[in-house]
Chain A
Amino acid sequence: MLLIRCPFCGSRNESEFMYGGPAAVRRPSNAAEVSSREWVEYLAVPSNPLGPALERWWHARGCGSWVTIERNTATHEITESSDGD
């Protein structure tokens, strides 16, 4: 079980959080205008890197903040965390 640092609550067990997907995925701000291909890529082609990856977690059983962390998917090492961006 990961130990995730919440900027408000400190280091907490993964069980307090809900995974919220890779942070690299951003909803197109002009959703009405982007091409269908771009839209589908946003929806259905997630990045899945081996190594450092930015991802989001929601501190559901804590303060309710969305936390962005950099986690190495090969080693689980968490190198950075911040309160969103």
Chain B
Amino acid sequence: MATDSHRMESGGRIDRSNPIKFQFNGKNYTGYSGDTLASALLANNVHLTARSFKYHRPRGIISAGCEEPGTLVELLEENSSGNRAITSVRIEDGLKAKSVNCWPSPDFDLGGINQFLADLLPAGFYYKTFMWPNWRLYEPLIRRAAGLAGAPASPPTKVKFESRHAHVDVLVVGAGPAGLLAALHAGRSGSRVMLVDENSEAGGALLNRKVRIGGESSLGWVSSVVDELAAMKNVMHIQSATAWGIREHNLVLVLERRLKEPGELLRNWRVRAARTVVATGSTERSLVFANNDRPGVMLSSAAQSYVNRYAVIPGRKALIFTNNSSAFSVAADLMNAGIEIAAIVDSRREVQDADRSHLNGIEILPGSVVSEAHGHRRVNGATVSERSESGRRRRIDCDLLLHSGGWNPTVNLFSQSRGDLRFDDCLAAFVPVDSGQAVMCAGAANGRMTIPEAIADGAKTGIRAAIESGYPGKSSALPEVDEDSYSVEALWHVEPRSRRNKCFVDFLNDVTVEDIRLALREGYRNVEQVKRYTTGGMGFDQGKTGNINIVGTIAQERGLPLSEFSTTTFRSPYTPVEFGSIGGTRSDTVFLPYRHTPVTSWNTAQGAVMYEAGARWRRPGYFPKPGETMQEAVSRESRAVRAGVGVYDGSPLGKFELKGRDAAKLLDFVYTNFMSDLAPGHGRYGMMLSDDGLIFDDGVVFCLSKSRFLVTTSTANAETVNRHLEFILQIERPEWDIKLTAVTSQWSNATICGPKAREVVRSLETDIDLDTEKFPFMAWRKGRVAGIDARIFRVSFTGELSFEINVASRDFDRLWNKIIEKGSTYGIEPVGSEANHVLRTEKGFLSLGHEVDGTVDPYDLGMGWIMSKKKPDFIGRRSVELRRQGSETRRELVGLLPDDPDKAIPEGAPLTPGGRKTRTEGFVSACVWSVVKERWIALALLERGRERMGQIAHARVQEEIIQAKIVSPCFHDSEGQRLRS
């Protein structure tokens, strides 16, 4: 497409030797490497690129940067990404994109009917109209009609995500003239500097303008600065990297878009900076007049950028409308590119000679405004009116209408850092004052609008940032720069001849001057209220080009000076950010690995179905044999424990060692029952409450010696118990002599359980006397088992005779294999967590997350005996007593037998009185197929459950009601003979 007539023969920052094919709205186009989607489409003379959000009016490309309020696109297929500004998408081979808010295309858009109904759709229309019966009924439909891109059906295949941390002394945001000099000076001082910039190359505003710096073209100067920065080892410089948020204590979030063959790498940096220099430049503001949204109406700086940076001819005949001096250099650049300038319409009464100097022969109309743009799918002219009494009007033809409402310092990041702004009358803009953090603005972002000022300010700020972060600041000579001046006179909107003519203050959300007036009439007074009512400034662009016109219009309508107002809050992200980049590679197990016990590989080799159990442990759920269903496997394992012998890996159980003179005091304080009278060699089941009197954890405490204890906790709660105990030791009772050591991973245990457990342990060969008189239930012994140093604990979580053999984790594999080998004679079965659940439910033993859900105390579970009456204080006691003084109805632990023994009740099913659709009176906490009862059994928490034994409870499962008899919550060996045997 070398003969493409909307592309200049030479110039620009594009690579003509590298043509790129892409697709937009289903049509094929060609652009060049270096093009954005916007510049490539304009080079193909495509101006109608979108339909507006609410009225579906034809829209085009308005800007050349990330502030774009005109066209959002959705990238398709392997690049899938929604709601991207057309001006910040770089084209690459095979890119497919479409406009977001039209169907089937912006040329022929069925939603376009809305523009004829526009008078019926004022601000707040949807909220007012769709009130009955409630907004939520209509919201999904309306949201769909007000189209934005949908969530991609699948993640982009050509895009990789990652996230990284960086720690620097000085972070400079923006590589324009100010940012480059700030980075250069901070770098020369020796401080660690990071320079980030959202553009694909450094230069900032210099990329768009033709300026001379240091006697050469400004871009030559830029590349010499970039070279010097690259040579400094203490400076890191990244382009295509947008600083999108500032958090507390100078944590700056930066999204880097790095082209990578094939595809793209999105890298989210979390930069912690001692000092942040915000050199983000300035953003041109739009002017507000009738039909200022027609395709072909664009910001004057955008046209300058398309001509100078992309060598694109955005139109043949341009009319320029301005309220400030910056548009005159635009006119000069356009003329150089061969574009005819129809006229410059300047709202100011006087235009300075300096502004006119390069524009011989061009008609300049001071004291005039563009009051209306003409054309529908593309602008074809404008009405220009004098601001005098006579208000003379004339029509001027053009195919490009440029407007410039002056420049706003880009203070978004500064404002996010809690920096204050004030309205500067001279610049007619909000400028930074004080920062709440170590954040400083430089250059145009600091209100230094000309290039010589920005360069001086950048250097000064870079030195200051270096000194403040502890480095010697050195100043050096600044380069010579062309004279530059900037002057502006506020113009917030041009009154249309008829109020039916729409003058847009927010293009993306279709908000007009009339909408603002309506909001004011309806009693919304301040900027924040008007914003929320009209949605002005709430689009993807966050009103970067238009918000100031909203504030200005409100001030003007209310007859108050602008300094009485503030802007709305700038929020992160500055530009849209892909969720994937925030997550980075932290998916699956990359940053959150599983914890394994030493026998994971044995388990998987046996074909175990592995579960994730509390605290990220991998545990076997069950061990299916070929052809077995899950239920068959679980029942087989359960039967093995009840009738023969089974073994399970209890290693993930939380384990802590307490050592010190006052260890027993701590145990008495955190457990509800007495622990201080435990003798060495013995253990006791205990329950921990939180101070609000609810069960927090349970476990067993073993006395190792008078001043040394081993505490076991539930698997999931190990870390919380650690925090709880450390809090007491460090804050509540720092005078106590106790050391707490987490030993969860140091000890692994194999629990051999079932009537034949003793025979199996004996067969392993041990010097511990296993006789029940010598080694009773709830005792522990030390010795050797299968030639390995071990501690055996006699506890039982299954209701059967159990020996918990604890060994150092490095020896566990050896022990396990020995148990399986020797146990095979006795028919030993490995047991997973499913069978454990069956066995503990049959016994009515509580389980955290099932019966203990953060709402129950020991009395609710029928375990009032565990609450010591003798101890004056322990954690939770006071609250349990206080609660039990009242007459509150409590949910109590009961067993349930479904009327139909073959009917399971889903765990979690609500219980309601008589099964009616009413307030619940409890829920089913566990339900298993019992191998001892040969039927389904359940545990439940039920209001006044213990009084209701023998009655019927009703579980509501969707539309079905399951009846079950209320029984005692222990279904097996209620005397506890077997576990003591």
Contact = CB atoms under 8 A, between A and B. Distances in A.
A3 B251 contact: yes
B944 to A, nearest CB: 25
A2 B250 CA distance: 9
Interface in A10-30: 13-14, 18, 20, 27, 30
B249 interface: yes
B727 A2 contact: no
A84 B692 contact: no
Contacts of A20: 723, 727
Contact of A66 (B248, B436, B726): B726
Contact of B248 (A18, A43, A76, A84): A76
Nearest to A68: B731
Given A27-B732, A39-B878, A2 B248 contact: yes
A32 interface: yes
Interface string A73-85: 0011010000011
The contact size tier of chain A is: 20 to 34
B873 A32 contact: yes
Contact of A3 (B248, B873, B882): B248
A64 interface: yes
B727 A66 contact: yes
Given A2-B248, A43-B692, A66-B730, A60 B723 contact: yes
> Interface SS of chain B: helix, strand, loop or mixed?
helix
Contacts of A48: none
A65 B730 contact: yes
A48 B727 CA distance: 21
Given A18-B723, A58-B726, A39 B249 contact: no
Contacts of B877: 31-32
Interface residues of B, number: 26
| Of listed B248, B270, B272, residue having the most chain A CB within 10 A | B248
A56 to B, nearest CB: 7
A76 B249 contact: yes
Contacts of A36: 882
B868 interface: no
Contacts of A32: 872-873, 877-878
Given A31-B877, A32-B873, A1 B249 contact: yes
B495 interface: no
Interface string A34-52: 0010011001000000000
A75 B418 contact: yes
B163 interface: no
A43 B879 contact: yes
A66 B731 CA distance: 8
B632 interface: no
Nearest to A71: B248
Contacts of B879: 39, 43
A64 B878 contact: no
Nearest to B872: A32
Given A31-B877, A32-B878, A84-B731, A64 B722 contact: yes
Contacts of A3: 248-251, 272
Contacts of B731: 56, 66, 84-85
B662 interface: no
A1 B732 contact: no
Interface of B: 247-251, 270, 272, 418, 436, 691-692, 719, 722-723, 726-727, 730-732, 734, 872-873, 877-879, 882
12 contacts: A1-B247, A2-B248, A20-B727, A27-B732, A30-B873, A31-B873, A58-B727, A60-B723, A66-B727, A75-B436, A84-B731, A85-B731
Interface of A: 1-3, 13-14, 18, 20, 27, 30-32, 36, 39-40, 43, 56, 58, 60, 64-66, 75-76, 78, 84-85
